[in-house]
């Protein structure tokens, strides 16, 4: 088995165990062509969860918000996840041995990566910082694609598409 496949499988198992500890029931999509790895059923509400493996450096966690489709070892296609495809990106960081849950509203029209800080920035920057601790406890009772009240939507187009359906 390829090393990347092993890392992905480990991350899926760790996230699945964490979701069960949080009171979710789990379903696993059949086949390899789904945009998500797990379906978490929390109090009757279904959440599509894409799982990612990460190895932090003790300061930051870089979460890849994309997948590569390979043919004969060469990248054929890059898929960037959006709120239309998944509800959460769950990142298992093997350094901290924690699962972090990024709501789909932070994906916008598709990003390459999101960075979570384990420690404050050395230059004391506060604006635009995502503290990893804020992503340890997901609120499965709210729609992860919608902006919280009082915050101007960064992903207005995506939010409108989800609200209209």
The answer to whether the beta carbons of residues 135 and 101 sit under 8 Å apart is yes
10-54 confidence digits (pLDDT tens): 999 999 999 999 999 999 999 877 899 999 999 999 999 999 999
pTM, 2 dp: 0.81
Residue 145 pLDDT grade (very low, low, confident, very high; cuts 50, 70, 90): confident
Give residue-wise pLDDT tens across range 63-83. Answer: 999 886 655 566 566 789 999
Classify the phi-psi angles of 11: left when phi > 0, otherwise alpha if psi is within -120 to 50, otherwise beta.
Answer: alpha
Q: Tokens 């350094």: give the residue.
A: 95
Q: Could you state, in order of their start, the residue ranges of all structural domains in the chain?
A: 3-164
CA angle 106, 112, 113 (to 5 degrees): 65
- Give the percent of the chain with pLDDT over 70: 81
CB atoms within 10 A of CB 26: 14
Overall CATH class of domain 3-164: alpha beta
pLDDT-derived band at 163, boundaries 50, 70, 90: very low
Averaged pLDDT for residues 114-143: 89
């Amino acid at each position: 088995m390829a090393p990347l496949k092993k890392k992905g499988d480990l991350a899926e198992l760790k996230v699945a165990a964490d979701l069960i500890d949080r009171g979710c029931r789990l379903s696993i999509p059949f086949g390899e062509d789904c945009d998500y790895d797990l379906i978490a059923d929390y109090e009757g509400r279904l959440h599509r969860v894409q799982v990612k493996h990460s190895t932090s450096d003790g300061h930051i966690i870089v979460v890849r918000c994309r997948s590569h489709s390979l043919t004969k070892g060469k990248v054929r296609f890059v898929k960037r996840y959006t709120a239309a495809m998944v509800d959460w990106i769950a990142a298992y960081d093997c350094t901290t041995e924690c699962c972090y849950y990024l709501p789909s509203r932070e994906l916008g029209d598709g990003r390459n990566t999101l960075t979570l800080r384990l420690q404050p920035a050395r230059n004391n920057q506060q604006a635009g910082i995502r503290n990893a601790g804020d992503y340890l406890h997901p609120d499965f009772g709210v729609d992860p694609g919608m902006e919280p009240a009082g915050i101007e939507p960064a992903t207005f187009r995506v939010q409108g598409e989800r609200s209209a359906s």
